[in-house]
Structure formats: C-alpha cells, structure tokens
Amino acid sequence: MNSNELSTSLFNDYDNYREKKLNSDFISHSQLTELIRGIQTKNLFRVDKLGESLDCKEIFSVVLGEGETKILAWTQMHGDEPTATAALFDLFNFFSSKDLYDDLRKNLLKKITFHFIPMLNPDGAEMFTRENAFNVDLNRDALRLQSYESQILWDYAEKVEPEFGFNLHDQNSYYTAGRSDNASAISLLAPPMNHVKSINYIREKSMQIICRINDALSLFIPQNIARYKDDFEPRAFGDNFTKKGISTILIESGFYKNDMKKDFVRKLNFIALLSAFNSAAEKDYENTDHKKYFDIPENEELLFDLLLRNLTLNYNGRNFKIDIGINREKKRIKESQSFYYKSKIADLGDLSIFYGIEEYDLTGYQVIPDNKLSIDEPADLKIFFNGQLKKEVKNGFISDLNN
C-alpha cells in the first residue's frame, strides 16, 4: 500500500478503533482516568503519573514503542479543546488491535517511541474553560512555568528530548481556509522560533511533516485545510520547543459542516497523526520540499455562526443598510455533560467580506432592536417586514414567526 492507499484504508476502517466511551466534544477527568486504568492492564502501554493539576487531578503519560525516534504528543492544554484527547484513545485502540495493519503497527513501534500526555489541563477540561484553575492560559506560561501543568510538560520534554512534538488543540469555528467560505476543519502550524520567522533544519522538518499530513487529509477535505498564522509568541510552548530543537507540529481541530459534535474532525485527527507518525518512521518527509507548506491557504477568521445580511436599521428617522454577525459561545452546564449557548453580536456594519455558517439575505427587512445595537451585547432581535413582526433572533438563533 502506498501512503494514499493507506490513509484511505484507515479512513474506511476508522470505526473499528473509535473509543465509543468518549464523546468528541466533552471528556471528564474521571472518564479519562477510567480509560487510562484500562490500558494500564495491557503490556503494550507504559503508564505513569507525571503529577497533579492545581486542583489535584492526576496527569498521565502513556508510552509505547521501542524506537529510536522519539515523539511527544500532548492534548488539551486548553481545557475546552478535547477533540484530540478522544483521537488519542482511538489511536491507543488502533495500536492494541490485531488485524490487516499488523505490519504497520509493528513497524511504527519498532522505529518510534511514543510519549503521549492526554489532557494536560484537567481542571480546565472539567470546567470546560481554555485556562487552568486560576484562569491562566498554559500556552502563555512556557517561560515562567508558574502552573503545575506547564511545569509538567516542560520537565517531561526536557527528560524525553523528543525529535518531534505534536501540540494538539481545537480552534473556534470561525476560521476559513484562505479567503473563502470553506471552514477550516484542520489547521496546521510549524511554530516559529523568533519574530523574523527563520526556517532552520528543525522547523523545516515540522513543515515537511505538515506537508505529509496535508497530502493525507487532502484526500478527504481538500478545501478545508489551513495554515495557522505563524506570528511568534515568546510565551507559547510550540515556539519554545522549536527553539529548543524539537520539530513541533501544531494541529488545530476546527469546524466542519454538520459536525457539531466534532466526530468527523476527531477522525481526521486520527488520520493526520497516523500519517505523520508513518512519515516519521519511514523518514519519507525528507523527500518533501518544505516550501509546499506555504501553498496551504492561510487560516482566516471570516465566519460567524449566524450572519444576517442587508437589513434596514432605522435610526433617528433615517434608514441605513446593516449586516449583523452573531456568534454563539458554548458553555458547560455545571456537573453535567450538557451545554448551553451564550450568544452575542460579534460585529456590525458592512460584513460583505465575511460568511455565515448559517446566513440569510434579509433585503427589505427591518431590524428593530430592544436596545441599541452594540457589539458584545446579547443577540436578541426583532425583524419586521412591512411593519409586521416576521422573524425573531433569540440568544443567537433565528426563527420564523407565522403571523
């Protein structure tokens, strides 16, 4: 099988490995711990407790393989970004299965030693927040290392000295692949090591691996892969790891149409990681021109959850044309696996360069807001046609009124 055939075959067989106990959009620390206890019983996996979060939740490493090439992959440094954690457990199931991929597994485990840290920020995961227990973003703490979680990741990377680092995140649903309305389902970054974004041998390898991931994912989502903006962030882990000599690859799981629960992007993560690992094992990335990395369209923030175009706003007796972009922020209902949405007006005015995941042309309709329209205000609106109330926007969702 060549690498395209392999990716296609894995894509078709993915359901055999999907960890059915995990949803893709929320994972509690107790669910994680239970699954870790499960794999601990299998000889293939070496599980260690690396330490505890600020609120005393265990953080684990899962090691497998005996190879010379060392790979470190961590997930959920941002608590509300669980997609890749779910994908790692799919991968663990893949590695512990026996089937037509036995040769691939054997080869990967012979050439690579994998170090995984699933859910680096369990406190944030539990609260479904980006930040940790004292509301600090771990990915801005790579210099000071003030949080236990950041220290754990840093120390572990120093100990393992991996050749490759996989920094696995979710991005919000508002990104597109280039200036288009194609949502960016996966975006990829070879983090820079300085403000002038130099490319040395270390970063070049990240770019080459990303090209191989791009080749694999292009088979399934050719329009929905983007290149994350490569501005240097001196306090971020990816940038500092690149500086340290670890070829780091950032994978962001984004939005894909009709995939609200993120099951499809989780599957794409599985494919992306296996294609990258296989390339690292075979070293075929060395034959890839790293400049192709720059052919991947840039991640642009051009989407709203709901875009209302061409409304009429009456202000002091005069009519104006206005577009309204509305976003819905997902919040967890405490102590449950359920969510609610808090919606707000994200932008106003001429939004003709933007797109809506859901959008309406409301030419001829008039918006009469309860309060003055303002950015960051709750998205509750009344929409009239010929003086009659026809549509209503409540908490960011639009409905037709049949009156």
Which of the stretches 23-31, 78-86, 97-105, 215-223 binds Zn ion when contact is defined by CB under 5 A?
Answer: 78-86
For residues 292 and 163, give the distance between their C-alpha atoms in angstroms, rounded to a whole number.
Answer: 22
For residues 281 and 341, give the distance between their C-alpha atoms in angstroms, rounded to a whole number.
Answer: 43
DSSP string, 88-100: HHHHHHHHT--ST
Which of the stretches 121-129, 165-173, 215-223, 253-261 binds Zn ion when contact is defined by CB under 5 A?
Answer: 165-173
Of residues 140 and 344, the one with the C-beta less far from Zn ion: 140
Binding to Zn ion (CB under 5 A) within 359-388 occurs at: none
- CB of residue 266 vs Zn ion: minimum separation in angstroms? 15
- CB of residue 137 vs Zn ion: minimum separation in angstroms? 9
Query: Where is 251: in which H helix or E strand?
Result: strand 247-253
Of residues 89 and 228, the one with the C-beta less far from Zn ion: 228
Of residues 300 and 359, the one with the C-beta less far from Zn ion: 300
Q: How far is CA 291 from CA 53, 204, 296, in A?
A: 40, 9, 10
Evaluate whether 283 touches 212 at the Cβ level (below 8 Å). no
User: Residue 63 corresponds to which amino acid?
Assistant: V
For residues 281 and 275, give the distance between their C-alpha atoms in angstroms, rounded to a whole number.
Answer: 10
Which of the stretches 33-41, 72-80, 144-152, 240-248 binds Zn ion when contact is defined by CB under 5 A?
Answer: 72-80
Of residues 227 and 309, the one with the C-beta less far from Zn ion: 227
Q: Tokens representing 85?
A: 């954690």
Binding to Zn ion (CB under 5 A) within 79-118 occurs at: 81
**At CB < 8 A and 24+ separation, what contacts does 325-333 make?**
325/351, 325/354, 325/356, 326/379, 326/393, 326/396, 327/174, 327/396, 328/395, 328/396, 328/397, 330/80, 330/128, 331/128, 332/26, 332/127, 332/128
Residue with tokens 């970063």: 203
- CB of residue 82 vs Zn ion: minimum separation in angstroms? 11
Which of the stretches 70-78, 153-161, 183-191, 302-310 binds Zn ion when contact is defined by CB under 5 A?
Answer: 70-78
The count of residues interacting with Zn ion (CB under 5 A) is: 3
Is residue 78 a contact residue for Zn ion (CB under 5 A)? yes
Of residues 24 and 278, the one with the C-beta less far from Zn ion: 24
Q: Tokens representing 45?
A: 């996996």
- CB of residue 267 vs Zn ion: minimum separation in angstroms? 20
Site string for Zn ion, 113-152 (x = CB under 5 A): ----------------------------------------
- CB of residue 24 vs Zn ion: minimum separation in angstroms? 15
Of residues 152 and 322, the one with the C-beta less far from Zn ion: 152
Q: Residue 251: CB partners within 8 Å, gap ≥ 6?
A: 84, 166, 167, 168, 169, 186, 187, 188, 213, 269, 272, 273
Of residues 81 and 149, the one with the C-beta less far from Zn ion: 81
Which of the stretches 77-85, 230-238, 275-283, 394-402 binds Zn ion when contact is defined by CB under 5 A?
Answer: 77-85
Which of the stretches 71-79, 101-109, 179-187, 273-281 binds Zn ion when contact is defined by CB under 5 A?
Answer: 71-79
- CB of residue 167 vs Zn ion: minimum separation in angstroms? 9
Evaluate whether 379 touches 345 at the Cβ level (below 8 Å). yes
Of residues 113 and 240, the one with the C-beta less far from Zn ion: 240
Evaluate whether 91 touches 16 at the Cβ level (below 8 Å). no
Of residues 115 and 169, the one with the C-beta less far from Zn ion: 169
User: Residue 303 corresponds to which amino acid?
Assistant: L
Is residue 169 a contact residue for Zn ion (CB under 5 A)? yes
Residues in touch with Zn ion (CB under 5 A): 78, 81, 169
